[in-house]
Amino acid sequence: MKISPVWAVLLMVASAALLALGPLVLPPFYVRVGQLMLYSAGLAVAWTILGGFAGYASFGHSAFIGVGAFAAGLVEARFSGVAPPLLLLLGLAVGGLCCAVLSAAIAYPILRLRGTFFAIAMLGVSHVCAELNNNVDFFEGSLGLNFPAVAPKNLEPATFFYWLYLLAGLVVLLIAWQIRRSRFGAGLLSIREDEDTARMLGVPTERYKRLAFVISAVLTGQLGVIYAHSLGYITTDSVYRDDTNLSLIVYSLLGGMGTLFGPVIGAFMLVFITQVILGRLLDFHLFATGLLLVVLVLAAPGGVLGLVRTFLLRRRPAAAPAE
Amino acid sequence: MNLIAQTLADGLVLGGIYALAAVGFSLIFGVLHVINLSHGILVLLGAYLALIFSQALGIDPLLTLPLVMAVLFAVGYVYQRFLIQHAVDRSQLGSMLLTFGVALMLQNIMIWVFSPDMKNITPSWAFTSFHLGAVNFDAVRVSALFASLVLLCCLALLLKFSPLGRVIRATAQQTMAARLCGVNVRHVYALTFAVSAAFAGAAGIVIGIILPFSPADEATWTLNAFVVVVLGGVGSPAGALLGGLLLGMVSTLTAQYIGPSFPNVTMFLLLVILLLVRPTGLLGNAFSASR
Amino acid sequence: MSPAPILRVDRLSKNFRGLAAIADVSFAIEPGSITSIIGPNGAGKSTLFNLVTGYLPPSAGEIQFQGRPITGMATNRIAELGIARAFQIARPFRDLSVFDNVRIGALFGKSGNRDVAATTARGMELAAIAHLADQPASTLTVGQLRHLEVARAIATRADLLLADEPCAGLNPTETAAMIEVLRRIRGNGVTVVLVEHDMPSVMEVSDRLLVLDAGRLIADGSPHAVAANPQVIAAYLGTPDAV
C-alpha cells in the first residue's frame, strides 16, 4: 500500500494537529490514556525499525527504556541547580548516549544470532540489566530515583507531557519514515526477507543491522527518559518490565509487522483496549492480551494493515495472466 | 571445604530438578522446532493438579504423579493437535507468540481459580534430613532428585527403545521421509507434545514439594528450561541432565559466593554467551544426525 | 591480442573433510563471452560458484577478478566489485513485488554511480519480465522466478554473471526464452558463465565449454572440440568396460 509522500505528510500534520487538541478538550483520565497511547506508539515505531523493518524481533527492548531512564536520572541528580528545561535536555543527551554505547557494544555478538535465538538473547540482556540495576547500589534501582519536575510553571504537567510525547512520537515516526524511504531502509527490508541473498546482492548487511539496532536503542532510550520524568520517581520495576517487552512486539504484530504505521495503529488499539475497555477489569488483562496474541497468530498474522490490504486486493480486478 | 561441598551438593540436587523441568521443553524444541513459551505454565499446572488431587484423595503428593501425568498428557495432545499445529508452519516467532499467549491466558485462569498467593504441597515427612559425610541433605530434596532421575531415565528408555520413541526420532530427523513411510506426522507431533507436557507436570509436582509456587512463577520455569537447553543440548534427556546440573551448580555457587540476588544475572549472562558460542548446546542437537 | 581475462582461477582447490570437491582447477574467462561449465552430478560445479562468489573459502589456489585478487573476500564486497549470481533454486524476496526485488539489485550491487530507476527498468526488460513489475514475487512460476533472479543480478550492474542451472526444470519454450535472455545480457556487455545440463542449449549458446568431473577440469575448449573429447564422453557415459 503506497501513499504518495505529499499525502502522507499532510495526513501526519493533520493527525498531529488533531491530537494536539487532546488535553484541551478531554477529561484528565483520557489525557493520561492519550499520554500512554503516544508513548506506546513512539516505542512501537522505534522497536519496529529493528524488528519490523530488518526482521530482528527483540524480546528485550525494555532494557533500553531502563538504561535511558536511569542514566538520565543519575546524571540529573548531580546537576540539581540547573534550570529544568536544560536538565531535561541533559537527561535526553545522557540517556541517548548510554543507550548508544550499550547497543553498539553488544551489537557485534548479538546480531550474529537469528530469529528466536536473537529474541531470547535480547530477553536475557533485558533481565541482566534489570537485575544489575536492582542489585548494584550505584544504580539506585531498588531504592528508586527521583526526577526533577521539568514542566513549565504555568502548564499542567499532564498537558506538558502529553505534548512532549506527541512531539517525541512525531520525531520517531519521521526518522522511521525517512529510513523506510531510503536506500538503508530498502537494505533492511531485504535483510528481513532473505539475509544471505541480500548479502550476495551487495547489501552491507552487518553494518546496516548494527545501525538499525543502535538507532532503535537510542530512540527507545529517549522515550524512556521522558517516561521517567512523567512518573517523577522510578524503581527498577517501573522501567524494566517483561510486559513492556511483550507489548512492543504485540503493537507491531497487531498493526502490521513490517509496516510503518502498523505499530502506531497497534499501540493505539492495544492501549485503548487495556486502559479504556478493560480498565476496570484488571483481572482480565492477562487473559485478554493472551487471547489477542493467539487470535492474531492464527487468524491475522499480517495484523490490522494486513487485513486491510487483503480486503483491498480482493476488490481489485485480477491481474493479467502471466505469459 | 565443607561449604563448597555443600554448595555443590545443593547444586546437584537442584540441577536434577531443573533437568526434569526442562526435558519436555527440550523435546519439543528438538522434534517440532517450536519454542514452547507455555512450558512453565504446564509445570505449574502439574503442581496445582497435585495439590487438588492430594487433598481430594488424601494421598501423598508424589503418589498423584501417574494421575497428573495422565491428565497433562491428554491436555498436551489436544493443545498441540488443535492449536499449536496451525502456527507451526508459519514461523518460529508465530509459535512462540502463540504459546506465550496461551501462557498468559492460563496464568490468568489460575489466578482466578487458585488466587495469586503462594501454595505448596509439602508432605508431612518433609522436615527430616540426613548427613552424608560433611554434607547435609534433606529428605524432600533427595526424594525430588530421585524422582527426577527415575523419570529422566524412563524418558530416555522410551525414546531409545520403544516404537513410539523410534517414530519420534525418525520424524524429528527427516519429517518428509517419515511422512512418505506412512507416519502420521501430526499425530506424532501431538504425542511428543503430550509426553513433554506429562513430564512438565511431573516436574511441577517435584518442584511443588520443595518450593512454594504461584501462577507468577511460570516465566521463570520457561526461561530456566530455555537456559538448560542452551547449556546442555536440544532434544535429549542426557542434554537436559547436563544442562540442568550445570545450571544448578552455577545457581548455588553464585548465590553462595557472589550474592544471593545474583544467580539470575549469572544465568542470563551464561545464556547470552552460550547462544553466541554454541546455540544448540554442549551436547548439540540430538536429532541432527541426518542434517 | 586477446583482452585480459575478466575472471582467472588458478589452481583452485576445496576440500571438505578429506573429500576434494574441487581439485587443482585453473581457467580464464574472456570478457564478453558465454562460457558453460558442464559435468556429471557431483562434479563440483556449484562448489566452484560458491568459491568464486565468496560463499566458501578455498582450501588452496587463487581467484582474480578483473586483475584483482578476490580469494576469500566477503560476499557483499565481491558483489560491489561486479560479480552477480543467479541461483538454481530461486531466492526472491517473497513479500516484495518483482519491481522492488529488482530494485534492490539496482540500489546495491556494484559500487559506483547508480541510476536506480533506469537500471531497474533495464534489468526487467533484459530479462523480459517488465510486464510482471507489480506482482508479488510469491505468485510467480518457476520459470518467471528464474527470470527474476537474472533480472535482479543484471540490475546490480555486474560485469560477470554466474548463472546456476537457469534452465533446470523448464520446458523447451521456457528454456529457449532463458537462453535468449542470456544472449541479450551478453550483448549488453556482461560476461556470462553458466552451469547447465541442457546439452542442445549449451552447444548452441556457448563460446566455450569447461568440463568438470569429480572436481577436476578435464576439458576446456570450443563446444565441438569438447563434445568430441573421449575423456568427456567417458565421464558422462562411462567406458564400454564399465557396466
In this predicted structure, what is the pLDDT of residue A241? Answer: 86
In this predicted structure, what is the pLDDT of residue A323? Answer: 39
Query: How far, CA to CA in Å, does C236 sit from each of C24, C195, C227?
Result: 21, 15, 11
Q: Mean pLDDT, to the nearest integer, of B259-269?
A: 77
In this predicted structure, what is the pLDDT of residue A104? Answer: 95
Contacts of A289 in chain B (CB under 8 A): 101, 104
> Mean pLDDT of all residues in chain C?
88
Count A/C contacts: CB-CB distance under 8 Å: 67
Q: What is the rounded distance in angstroms from the CA atom of residue C41 to the CA atom of residue C38? A: 9
Nearest to A117 among B100, B102, B279 (CB): B279
Q: What is the rounded distance in angstroms from the CA atom of residue C104 to the CA atom of residue A156? A: 49
Record: contact B109-A287, CB cut-off 8 A: yes
C122 touches A218 (CB < 8 A): no
Where does the pLDDT of residue C234 fall: very low under 50, low under 70, confident under 90, or very high at 90 and above? confident
Where does the pLDDT of residue B290 fall: very low under 50, low under 70, confident under 90, or very high at 90 and above? very low
Q: Which of A118, A294, A296 to mutate to test the interface with B (most CBs of B within 10 A)?
A: A294
Q: What is the rounded distance in angstroms from the CA atom of residue A71 to the CA atom of residue A103? A: 14
pLDDT tens, position by position, C104-137: 999 998 888 888 999 999 999 988 899 999 889 9
Q: What are φ and ψ of residue C212, in 5° steps? A: -105, 140
In this predicted structure, what is the pLDDT of residue A119? Answer: 87
Q: Output the CA torsion sign for A101, A102, A103, A107.
A: positive
- Tell me the Ramachandran region of residue A55: left when phi exceeds 0, alpha when psi lies from -120 to 50, beta otherwise: left
Cβ partners under 8 Å of residue B10, min gap 6? B248, B252
Nearest partner of B18 among B236, B284, B249, B216, judged by Cα: B249
Alpha carbon A70 to chain centroid distance?
18
B208 touches B52 (CB < 8 A): no
> Mean pLDDT of all residues in chain A?
88
Which triple of cell numbers denotes residue C101? Answer: 526485488
Where does the pLDDT of residue A316 fall: very low under 50, low under 70, confident under 90, or very high at 90 and above? low
Beta bridge partners of C15: C20
A240 touches A63 (CB < 8 A): yes
Judged by a CB distance cut-off of 8 A, whether residue A292 touches chain B is: yes
In this predicted structure, what is the pLDDT of residue A320? Answer: 45
Q: Mean pLDDT, to the nearest integer, of A221-227?
A: 96
B20 touches B152 (CB < 8 A): yes
pLDDT tens, position by position, A294-314: 888 888 888 888 888 888 877
C100 pLDDT above the threshold of 60: yes
Contacts of C53 in chain A (CB under 8 A): 200
Where does the pLDDT of residue C43 fall: very low under 50, low under 70, confident under 90, or very high at 90 and above? confident
Least-confidence region, from A112-121, A167-176, B9-18: A112-121
With a pLDDT cut of 90, the percent of chain A lying above it is: 49
Strands, E assignment, chain A: 145-146, 233-234
Q: Mean pLDDT, to the nearest integer, of B59-66?
A: 87
- Nearest chain A residue to C142 by CA distance is A322
A206 pLDDT above the threshold of 50: yes
Q: Please give the radius of gyration of chain C, using alpha carbons only, rounded to the nearest integer.
A: 18
- Please give the angle made by the CA atoms of A33, A287 and B191, to the nearest 5 degrees: 150
For residues B216 and A259, which has the higher predicted lDDT (pLDDT)?
Answer: A259
B49 touches B68 (CB < 8 A): yes
pLDDT tens, position by position, B85-125: 888 766 677 888 899 889 989 988 998 898 888 888 877 77
Judged by a CB distance cut-off of 8 A, whether residue C110 touches chain A is: yes
Which of residues 195 through 214 in chain C touch A, CB cutoff 8 A? none
Nearest partner of A228 among A278, A168, A154, judged by Cα: A168
In this predicted structure, what is the pLDDT of residue A322? Answer: 42
Nearest to A199 among C75, C94, C134 (CB): C75
Q: List, in sequence order, the alpha helices (H) in C3-135.
A: 45-52, 75-81, 98-107, 116-126
Q: Mean pLDDT, to the nearest integer, of A169-184?
A: 95
Contacts of A201 in chain C (CB under 8 A): 76, 79, 84, 104-105, 108-109, 152, 156
A209 pLDDT above the threshold of 90: yes
Let me know how many helices (H) and strands (E) chain A has, helices first: 15, 2
Contacts of A183 in chain C (CB under 8 A): 107-108
In this predicted structure, what is the pLDDT of residue A11? Answer: 83
Q: What is the rounded distance in angstroms from the CA atom of residue B150 to the CA atom of residue C127? A: 64
- Nearest chain B residue to A296 by CA distance is B98
Which triple of cell numbers denotes residue C32? Answer: 564478453
Count A/B contacts: CB-CB distance under 8 Å: 110
In this predicted structure, what is the pLDDT of residue A181? Answer: 92
Other CB atoms within 10 A of residue A305 CB: 22
- Tell me the Ramachandran region of residue A223: left when phi exceeds 0, alpha when psi lies from -120 to 50, beta otherwise: alpha
B24 touches B204 (CB < 8 A): no
In this predicted structure, what is the pLDDT of residue B24? Answer: 92
Q: Which amino acid is at B272?
A: V
Please return the burial class of C176, using the count of CB atoms within 10 Å of its CB with bins 0-12, 13-18 and 19+: middle
> Are there at least 3 beta-carbon pairs closer than 8 Å between A and C?
yes
- Nearest chain A residue to B260 by CA distance is A135
List subunits contacting chain A, requiring 3 or more Cβ pairs under 8 Å.
B, C
Let me know how many helices (H) and strands (E) chain B has, helices first: 12, 2
Which triple of cell numbers denotes residue A277? Answer: 475497555
Most confident of A78-82, A169-173, A239-243: A169-173
pLDDT tens, position by position, A62-116: 999 999 999 999 999 888 788 888 889 999 999 999 999 999 999 988 898 888 8
Record: contact C96-A193, CB cut-off 8 A: yes
**Chain A residue set in contact with C, beta carbons under 8 Å:** 183, 186-187, 189-190, 193-194, 196-205, 258, 319-320, 322-323
Coil vs helix vs strand at B146: helix
Say whether the ipTM exceeds 0.95: no
Judged by a CB distance cut-off of 8 A, whether residue C151 touches chain A is: no
A204 pLDDT above the threshold of 90: yes
Q: What is the rounded distance in angstroms from the CA atom of residue B39 to the CA atom of residue B19? A: 13
Cβ partners under 8 Å of residue C53, min gap 6? A200, C75, C78, C83, C85, C162
Q: What is the rounded distance in angstroms from the CA atom of residue A216 to the CA atom of residue C131? A: 38
Where does the pLDDT of residue C239 fall: very low under 50, low under 70, confident under 90, or very high at 90 and above? low
In this predicted structure, what is the pLDDT of residue B291? Answer: 33
Compute, in degrees rounded to 10, the torsion defined by CA atoms C132, C137, C143, C144: 20
* Interaxial angle between packed helices A242-255 and A262-271, expressed in degrees from 0 to 180 and rounded to the nearest 10: 120
Other CB atoms within 10 A of residue B21 CB: 28
A53 touches A258 (CB < 8 A): yes
Nearest to A194 among C93, C131, C141 (CB): C93
Where does the pLDDT of residue C237 fall: very low under 50, low under 70, confident under 90, or very high at 90 and above? low
Distance from CA of C155 to the nearest CA of A (A): 10
Q: Mean pLDDT, to the nearest integer, of B168-180?
A: 86
With a pLDDT cut of 70, the percent of chain A lying above it is: 96
Coil vs helix vs strand at B168: helix
In this predicted structure, what is the pLDDT of residue B254? Answer: 86
Q: Which of B79, B95, B258, B272 to mutate to test the interface with A (most CBs of A within 10 A)?
A: B272
